[in-house]
Structure 1
Amino acid sequence: MDELATSRDVEEVADAARATGRFGIDTEFMGEGRYRSLLCVVQVAVEQPGGEVRVIVVDALDDDVDVTPLAEILGDPAIEVVMHAARQDVPLLKRTWDVPVTNLFDTQVAAGFAGLRAQLGYDPLLQEMLGVRLRKSASFTKWDRRPLTEEQVRYAREDVLHLLQVATKLQERLAERGRLEWAREECRPLEEISDIRAVDMVFAKLPKINGLDPKVRAVAWELAAWREETAREGDRPVTTVLNDAALVEIAKRRPADQRDLEQIRGLNEGALRRRGKAIVAAVQRGRERDPIPNTASRHVQPDGRDAPLIALAEALLRTRAMDAELAYELIAARADLQRIVTAVRTDQDTSAAAQPDVRTLQGWRRELVGEELLELLHGRRELRVGPGLGVEVRSADAEPAA
C-alpha cells in the first residue's frame, strides 16, 4: 500500500515547492450530513530534479501530522498553487488551515482560454492534453472513515500525479496565444471565495425576502441567525434544522407561542418537540428588534424588446470567442447581457461610470469584445453575414461591400 505522509514528508515537499516555485494540490472531503464540508485528505505534487514528480497523500484528520509547512506555502505569493476546479478546495483549505490562498492557477479555468470547453473535468482534460486516463474507482467513497483503504490512497495520489504536467502544457499554449495573463486574471477571484456563512448573506438569499414587511424581515433575520447557530453547533445541514419556506412562513405569521407554531405547515412533530421553544424565542427577539427595511436596489425590469438585442449581442460575443478560441461561457452569461442591454435602453450616458458593473465590460473581456459590444448597441457597429456564412463585424459607417 502507498504510505500516508508523515510530518517529515510534508516538510520536504514544502521545501521542494519553495525551490521550484510551484506545487499541485487537491483535496478529498465529505459534505453530506454536515454544516460545512470536512477536509479529509490532501494530496500534493511537487517536481523533483530530473523532471520526476513526487506525490504525498496527507491524512488531514490525523492530528499527529504537522501540516503547517503546507499551510505556509499556500499563502506564499512567490509560489504558484496549481489546482483543478478550485472553487470548493480553496475555501475548504482556507477555513480548515486558517490561511490565505495566493498565486492560484486553476487548470479548469485555463482550459477555457486554451480552446477547450468551459467547466472541463479533470479526466477529460488529461485525456485531451496528455492522453492519460484516470481510474475513478474511489471518487465517491467515504473519505472520513479510518483507516483509509489502499484504493483510496492510490486514487488520491493519481489525482495530482499529472497536475503539474498539464498545467505546464496549458501555460505554454496560453503564452503562445497571448492568453496566459487573461487566465491568471480569471483565477484571482477564486482566491477570495469563502464558505463562511454570514447571517446577512443567508438572510438576503431567503425566498421573496425583499418583498416582505420590514417587521417581518426582522423576525426572519433572527430566525436565520438562530438556524445558523443551531446547525453549526450540531454540525448538520441548515435545512435539517428549518427549511427556507418554513422559516419565511414562520416570520410572516410570527407565532407567539408553541400552539400558534403548530398551526404552520412545514414543521414535523419531531422538530416542534425539539426546537419549538427555541423557534418561538427567536420570533420574540425578531419582534423586539428594529424593523429591517429593504435597501436592495431595484433594477429596471427587462423589456420585451430586449430579446432581439440580447441575441444580437450574443452573436457578436460568440463570434469573438470563436476568433480567440475561447470558451464562450468565460465571456458572458445571459444575465450580463440583459443588464448591458437594459442600461443602454434606459440611459444614453456612455461614460464608464454609467455602465453596468458586469464582467463583460471589465478587464480582458472589455479588451476582447466589451468596447465593441457597446458600440454595437449604440449603433456604431453592425454585423453582417460574410462568405461561408461567417459573421463579420464592421463599423456602421463602412462602405457596403461590392
Structure 2
Amino acid sequence: MPQETVTTLAGSDEVARIAELAAASGRLGIDTEFMSEGRYRALLCLVQVAAPDPDAPDGVRIALFDPFDELDFEPLAAVLADPAVEIVLHAARQDVAILRRAWRTDVRNVFDTQVAAGFAGYGAQTGYGNLLGAALGLRVGKTASYTRWDVRPLTEEQLSYAREDVVYLLQLSDALHDKLTASGRLEWAREECRRMEEASDERDPETAYERLPRSGQLDPRARAVAREVAAWRERTAQQEDKPVGSILPDPALVEIAKRKPASPRELEQIRGLHGGHLRRRGQAIVDAVAIGRDAEPIAREARRPGGEQGDAPLISVVEAVIRARAIEAELAYELVASRAELEQIVIAARRGDPEPDVRALTGWRRELVGAELAELLAGRRAVTIVAGRIAVTPVD
C-alpha cells in the first residue's frame, strides 16, 4: 500500500521523468480535475499521473501538475498518443476530451477501469471509490470533490484528494486485467475502451440547432432560422467563454425561430429575454434571424419506421435473452444494448429490412448475443427453458 506523503505540485522536469517511466513500462495512469461552471467548455485545472517506477518505495511514482503554470507538457502529450503505452483512466470520456483539446494530442490505447468493471461483474457505472472497495478492499476519501479547482493556491486537502485518485489506479487496472483475462473478456473490454479515444468536447456551430428542445417541431424555414441563431450563439459563447444558455436561453431561441423578428423591438415580445440580452445582443440576434430567413429551408429528417403494438412482446423476449447472456458472461447488461437499439432490431426483422447499424449486432456484442438474436428473429431459433434458464435452440 502506498505510503503517506506530503503532496506538492511538480515541475517540467517531473513531466519529462514521468513520461520516460511511462514509455519504459508501457503504462500511465492519469486523472484530471476541471471546472465547467460558468464556462463554454471545461477548464483543465489539475493533472494527476501515476507511472511504474522500480525506484519508488511502492513501485509507483505519483505526480501532480498545475496546467496554470507554464510547464512543458509535450513529453506527456506524446506518451498519451503512443499506442505502445496503455493509458489507464476511470470514467475516461471527459478526461480524454479535455486532454485532447488542452494538449492538442491524441489519446490512444485507453484502458477505462469503469468500462472494464462492467465486463468484470462490478456494474457498468461503478464509481472509482466503490470499485476500489469491491476489487481491492480499499477506501479513499472524497472530501474535496466539489471544491473550486480554478482558485489558487490549491489546498493541501485538494492535493491529497487529487493524489488519491491515481495512487491506486494502476493497481486497480492490474486486478481488472487479471479478472478479465481469466474470464476471456479482456479483448471485449479493450474493444469497448477504444470508443473513448475519439471523445471530444468540440461543438460544431452549424449543427448546434439540432440539440435544441422541440427543434423537430419547427417548420423548415424556422429550422433555417434556428440554425443561424444557434450558430451565432455558439460562436459568441466560445469567444466570451460563457455557457451558451447565458448568451440566449434555449426556449427563447426556439421562439425566435418561430417568430422570426425583424427588429430589436420585436424581440421585446419574446419571453426569456431580459434587458441585458436586448441591449447587448438584440441587433446581433436580428441579423442572424435575417440570414436564416434568406437561407434555404431545412426539411425535417425522415423519421425511422415506427413500432407496432405487436413489437412490445418481441422486444421483451429479445431483452430477456440479452439479460440472460449478460448474466452468464458476468458483465453489465447496460453494456450490451439500449432499448432504442432493440426496437430498431425488432422493427427491421418484422419488415424484412437489412440489419440496422447498431452496436448490439457488431463486435464483441455480436459474438456474445447479436448473431443469436438475428437467428431468433429470423425464426431459425426458439427460446426455451432448460434447467431453469433461458436457452436459444435451433428450430428443427
| Matching of residues 9-48 of structure 1 within 5 Å | 9-48=14-53
Q: Deviations over 1:271-326 (max 9, x none)?
A: 222211111111112122232333x3420011111111110001100111111111
Partners of 1:142 and 1:247 lie apart in 2 by 31
1:147 aligns with 2:146: no
Match of 1:137 among 118, 132, 143: 143
The SS at the match of 2:92 is coil
Q: Deviations over 1:121-150 (max 9, x none)?
A: 100111111111001111111000001111
The SS at the match of 1:87 is helix
The SS at the match of 1:88 is helix
Q: Which residue of 1 aligns with 2:339?
A: 334
The SS at the match of 2:20 is helix
Partners of 1:285 and 1:89 lie apart in 2 by 37
Q: Which residue of 2 aligns with 1:53?
A: 60
* Contact 2:88 2:113 (8 Å CA) reproduced: yes
Give me the TM-score of the superposition, normalised by structure 2: 0.95
The SS at the match of 2:142 is coil
Q: Which residue of 1 aligns with 2:258?
A: 252
Q: Deviations over 1:310-362 (max 9, x none)?
A: 10001100111111111111101111100000101112x5xxxx110000000
Match of 2:314 among 309, 326, 330: 309
Q: Which residue of 2 aligns with 1:400?
A: none
1:360 aligns with 2:393: no
The SS at the match of 2:47 is strand
Shift in Å, 1:260: 1.2
Over 3 Å off, 4+ runs: none
Partners of 1:390 and 1:103 lie apart in 2 by 37
| Matching of residues 177-196 of structure 1 within 5 Å | 177-196=183-202
Shift in Å, 1:385: 2.8
1:392 aligns with 2:391: yes
Q: Which residue of 2 aligns with 1:201?
A: 207
Q: Which residue of 2 aligns with 1:371?
A: 371
The SS at the match of 1:42 is strand
1:88 aligns with 2:94: yes
Partners of 1:385 and 1:58 lie apart in 2 by 57
Root mean square deviation of aligned Cα: 1.3
Q: Deviations over 1:201-245 (max 9, x none)?
A: 322222333443322222111101110111112111101111222
Give me the TM-score of the superposition, normalised by structure 1: 0.94
Which amino acid in the other structure matches residue 310 of structure 2? R
Aligned length: 389
| Matching of residues 97-246 of structure 1 within 5 Å | 97-246=103-252
Identity %: 57
More displaced 10-residue stretch of structure 1: 65-74 or 37-46:
65-74
* Contact 2:31 2:49 (8 Å CA) reproduced: yes
Which amino acid in the other structure matches residue 119 of structure 2? F
More displaced 10-residue stretch of structure 1: 378-387 or 354-363:
378-387
